[in-house]
Structure 1
Amino acid sequence: MSGLLVFDKIISDRGSRYAVSGGAARDRDGVAALLDELRGRGRFAKATHHSWAAILSGEPAFSDDGEKGAGGLILQMIERAGLADHVVIVTRWYGGKHLGGDRFRHVADAVRHYLAEMGQRA
């Protein structure tokens, strides 16, 4: 049974769509396995970005995956929430229109959604 939790179609703005996912990960191999699983799920394979962050054995790790600044924002939020050995992934399908600073608000809202589902506070 998979440890990947997926909350799809949670945000839509000007054609861009967002989902948030995550699961337990103790190291970068665990993160890679969850990312591979996510990318293997139908439409997630065609997403534009899978930005993620985790605190692995006390060390921060993140990737913007082309969405500059997104991984760092996710990391800040999970550090504040005290969520360790767990990866949070924000997926975006680009809709053809630039969102400017709103994209950071959407990433933050997606992480808040995930943390709330996990019983954590952002």
Structure 2
Amino acid sequence: MSDLIRLGVILTDRGSKYAVTGARVTSRSEVDAVLTELKQDRAYAKATHNTWAAVLPQGALKADDGESGAGIVILRMMERAEMSDHVIIVTRWYGGKKLGGDRFRRVQDAVRAYFDDRGIGH
């Protein structure tokens, strides 16, 4: 299977918890395999959202998984960092309070933490 880079829960905001995970991928089928592998962990399978983006040789892909607009946030950050052949997944466990626009800032914070862990400029 893929080599998941799982940072776990890296921040909380008003009860919502955010985690970030990534892996090297070169195809949609590899993205799907990474998502399947991640969701074998019941905590991730039960998460409210597993939002992701991937930059592949054949183009960019993203999915909001119910967190409207979050996939494009991840994708834009990956493109700015010139990160390719990779998928980044931001997982959110909803804490009961709506975050409004702050939810996008938390997604950005999660992606930045992943970049920092990987030594990638952003």
Gaps of 5+ in 2: none
* Runs of 4 or more above 2 Å deviation: none
| Matching residue of 1:12 | 12
In 1, Cα distance between equivalents of 2:76 and 2:68: 14
RMSD, aligned CA: 1.0
In 2, Cα distance between equivalents of 1:8 and 1:64: 19
TM-score by structure 2 length?
A: 0.96
SS state of the match for residue 73, structure 2? helix
Cα pair 1:10 1:110 within 8 Å, conserved: yes
Counterpart mapping for 1:3-82 below 5 A: 3-82=3-82
Gaps of 5+ in 1: none
Deviation, 1:9, is: 1.4
Judged with a 3 Å threshold, the aligned counterparts in structure 2 of structure 1 residues 82 and 58 are, in CA distance, closer, same or farther, namely farther
| Matching residue of 2:83 | 83
Aligned residue identity for 2:63: S
TM-score by structure 1 length?
A: 0.96
Cα pair 2:4 2:23 within 8 Å, conserved: yes
